[in-house]
Amino acid sequence: MSATLTEPKPKSGILDIAPYVPGESSVPGGLKPIKLSSNETPLGASAKAIAAYTALASELERYPDGASLALRKAIGGVYGLDPARIVCGCGSDELLNLLAHAYLAPGDEAVFTEHGFLVYRIVTLGNGAKPVVVKCRNLAADVDAMIAALTPRTKIVFLDNPNNPTGTYIPMSEVRRLHAALRPDTLLVLDSAYAEYVRRNDYESGIELVATQKNVVMTRTFSKIYGLAALRLGWAYCPPAIADVLNRIRGPFNVTAPAIAAGIAAIEDTAHVEASLVHNDTWLPWTTAEIQKLGLEVTPSVGNFILIHFPETGERTATAADAFLKSKGIIMRRVAGYGLPNALRMTIGTESDNKTVVKALAAFMGKA
């Protein structure tokens, strides 16, 4: 006789998932925080995007366009892409979930790096597949190690390029080498959430590779440089067959009308995007250099954030730094969940934010 079941049981793998913990947003004592924990743009959303969003306030009873056609056309216009190969979602997180749901089954494997986006593990386990975690080299993806981890069971390889939280990247030649090692039925997912910030000649977001291959998808987000994190908006550029699959399983109205309107305005407001790039190009190197002067190691970053390393032992650990900074109203991102217990990730903030952080870290390091 079978055991009596007393309650519904989730699918295998789900209870192995550690729930995603976002960056903190409050500090003790009621201080107004300087929130540098979620890689949000210090310039905020485009005024045109805000206007497009608020213009729909009187039409909230209407369903959105389930196909997000106007948004897909706007994205296609900016990047020169076929809108039919673009799928929009509730953040790029939803698209990663959909890809895993469509292409991972129990017994399959998904490969990603030890410091990769935590969602890769979540969506892999959530579909009963096995996460295969690969060591990095100098805090960047090690293509040789990723290739060595491939097996006949590998169905998806996730690569966030640039990587969050390290800020490192690999050149497109390495991405192509990784792709060349994959079987035709293994999907390469290029998570290019921070692509807009990268200023390196050997970097590509993956558009050309998707355009010419049947097993590559690129995901992007409106949460970072476009400042629309609250609206949860992302998109994927896919081979036609994969776009067809995602459109079959996504929710019928998975992107809201205000998000569609704001997304169109944001991606077409090139002046606001350029202002964000100029700000980051100014304050990323400045903040990096000033923190290094305090005797702290900072991983070179191509994103809008930096990874600051603290001593493993003693009075100036990452845990101690986090507590000290919070006492000053400054919130950074603990990254122990990414395998980096001795580091904090700092988003590049406003000029005032960045200078305040440097001053606080100088006090913490005894160099004020």
pTM, two decimal places: 0.93
Give the confidence band of 2 by pLDDT, cuts at 50, 70, 90. low
| pLDDT, the chain, mean | 95
Instruction: Tell whether 166 and 226 lie within a shared domain.
Output: yes
Domain extent, residue 81, equals 47-268
Instruction: Tell whether 276 and 128 lie within a shared domain.
Output: no
Closest residue by Cα to residue 150 from 114, 111, 189, 180 = 111
Instruction: Tell whether 200 and 144 lie within a shared domain.
Output: yes
Instruction: Tell whether 23 and 53 lie within a shared domain.
Output: no
| CA distances for 59 relative to 50, 54, 55, 259, 261, angstroms | 16, 10, 8, 13, 12
Closest residue by Cα to residue 137 from 165, 170, 111 = 170
Instruction: Tell whether 102 and 181 lie within a shared domain.
Output: yes
Is 50 exceeded by the pLDDT of residue 51?
Answer: yes
> What's residue 234's pLDDT?
98
Does residue 180 sit within a domain? yes
Give the confidence band of 119 by pLDDT, cuts at 50, 70, 90. very high
Does residue 171 sit within a domain? yes
> What's residue 72's pLDDT?
98
> What's residue 29's pLDDT?
66
Average of per-residue pLDDT across 217-235: 98
Q: How far apart, in whole angstroms, are the C-alpha atoms of residue 297 and residue 204?
A: 27
Does residue 162 sit within a domain? yes
Instruction: Tell whether 40 and 160 lie within a shared domain.
Output: no
> What's residue 1's pLDDT?
47
Is 50 exceeded by the pLDDT of residue 136?
Answer: yes
CATH number for the domain spanning 342: value is: 3.90.1150.10
CATH number for the domain spanning 170: value is: 3.40.640.10
Q: Count structural domains, the chain.
A: 2
Instruction: Tell whether 36 and 110 lie within a shared domain.
Output: no
Instruction: Tell whether 76 and 190 lie within a shared domain.
Output: yes
Instruction: Tell whether 20 and 89 lie within a shared domain.
Output: no
Of 268, 301, 335, the domain-final residue: 268
Evaluate whether 330 touches 26 at the Cβ level (below 8 Å): no
Is 90 exceeded by the pLDDT of residue 216?
Answer: yes
Instruction: Tell whether 191 and 118 lie within a shared domain.
Output: yes
Instruction: Tell whether 258 and 289 lie within a shared domain.
Output: no
Instruction: Tell whether 78 and 182 lie within a shared domain.
Output: yes
Q: Is the dihedral of CA 196, 198, 202, 206 positive or negative?
A: negative
